[in-house]
């Protein structure tokens, strides 16, 4: 898994760091009378940096229909945004959880709708295993990406260190997450993940797919196929060879750093790394 994100609320900054992130889940509303005053600005930061955006509602005892409608009226969801129900209040029974999720699915069928809860709620308070389009499970005592639940999960909130909730998504790539969130087919080729994504030591199936495409393009500067899903010196040399080849073939006139690692969007798109 290579899809990383955070979830934030009003006590976090509006200009939070997005380095290394693929998604952000922002608190929008609570009950039927509270709106996060930083929600719009926090969402705007995520959008500006190309993150998949989600909005969540912190449920309180009361009418689930009223709370769901209040959430939908204030979250400002756009195409491709994820909608989430935050189930933490012990006064909200499982039946109400199901009611909120089903109401939002019916009112916003173009969006993915998911359930957030901790492991105790999922194992001891839930009785239906209903989580709409997927489960976002909080289990900070478990290793990253290994929450202690048997049910399939989409997001794992694995750490709250430093006052920031960190999450990992159970998706093969950022492109796969974006395709899922948009309720559309996965793209044929892997979207450019951003220059900052290409760090030495990163492990991802995207890296293995890139390796194979560079070899096929005649830019094989690898000394081994071992750990080909991990970015190493062979990837750097091979991709720089691809940039030189592309530069010459398309008469770009690039020099210096334009021909160096990390990859750029134009050459990445031209490499046609298949979606994984």
HEC sequence for the chain:
CCEEEEEECCCCCCCCCCCCCCEEEEEEEECCCEECCCHHHHHHHHHHCCCEEEEEEECCCCCHHHHHHHHHHHCCCCCCCEEEEECCCCCCCHHHHHHHHHHHHHHCCCCEEEEEEEHHHHHHHCCCCCCECCEEEECCCCCCCCCCCCCCCCEEEEECHHHCEEEEECCCCHHHHHHHHCCCCCCCECCCCCHHHCCCCCECHHHHHHHHHHHHCCCCCCCCCCCCCECCHHHHHHHHHHHHHHHHHCCCCCCHHHHCCCCCHHHHHHHCCECC
The tens-digit pLDDT sequence of the chain (276 residues) is 569 999 999 999 999 999 999 999 999 999 999 999 999 999 999 999 999 999 999 999 999 999 999 999 999 999 999 999 999 999 999 999 999 999 999 999 999 999 999 999 999 999 999 999 999 999 999 999 999 998 989 999 999 777 789 999 999 889 899 999 998 665 688 888 788 889 999 888 889 999 999 999 999 999 998 999 999 999 999 999 999 999 999 999 999 999 999 999 999 999 999 977
Active centre residues (catalytic):
7, 88
Question: 116 and 252: one domain?
Answer: no
Question: 176 and 217: one domain?
Answer: no
Among residues 181, 203, 221, the one where a domain terminates is: 181
pTM of the complete model = 0.69
Asked whether residue 141 is assigned to any structural domain, the reply reads yes
Question: 151 and 243: one domain?
Answer: no
Asked whether residue 276 is assigned to any structural domain, the reply reads no
Among residues 181, 204, 234, the one where a domain terminates is: 181
């Amino acid at each position: 898994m290579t899809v990383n994100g955070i979830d934030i609320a009003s006590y976090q900054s509006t200009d939070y760091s997005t380095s290394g992130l693929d998604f952000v889940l922002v608190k929008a509303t609570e009950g039927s009378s509270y709106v996060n005053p930083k929600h719009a600005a926090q969402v705007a930061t995520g959008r500006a940096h190309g993150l998949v955006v989600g909005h969540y509602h912190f449920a309180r005892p009361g009418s689930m229909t009223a709370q769901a409608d209040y959430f939908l009226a204030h979250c400002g969801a756009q195409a491709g945004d994820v909608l989430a129900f935050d189930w933490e209040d012990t006064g909200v029974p499982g039946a109400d959880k199901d009611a909120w999720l089903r109401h939002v699915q019916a009112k916003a069928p173009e969006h993915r709708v998911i359930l957030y809860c901790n492991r105790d709620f999922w194992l001891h308070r839930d009785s239906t295993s209903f989580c709409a389009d997927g489960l976002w499970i909080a289990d900070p005592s478990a290793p990253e990406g290994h929450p202690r639940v048997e049910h399939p999960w989409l997001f794992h909130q694995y750490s709250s260190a430093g006052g920031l909730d960190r999450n990992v998504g159970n998706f093969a790539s950022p492109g796969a997450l974006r395709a899922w969130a948009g309720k559309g087919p996965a793209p044929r080729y892997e979207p450019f993940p951003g220059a900052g994504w290409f760090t030495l030591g990163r492990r991802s199936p995207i890296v293995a797919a890139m390796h194979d495409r560079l070899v096929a393009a005649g830019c094989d500067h690898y000394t081994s196929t071992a750990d080909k899903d991990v970015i190493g010196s062979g990837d750097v040399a091979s991709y720089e060879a691809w940039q030189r080849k592309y530069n010459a073939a398309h008469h770009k006139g690039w020099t210096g750093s334009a021909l160096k690692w990390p990859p750029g969007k134009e050459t990445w798109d031209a490499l046609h790394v298949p979606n994984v």
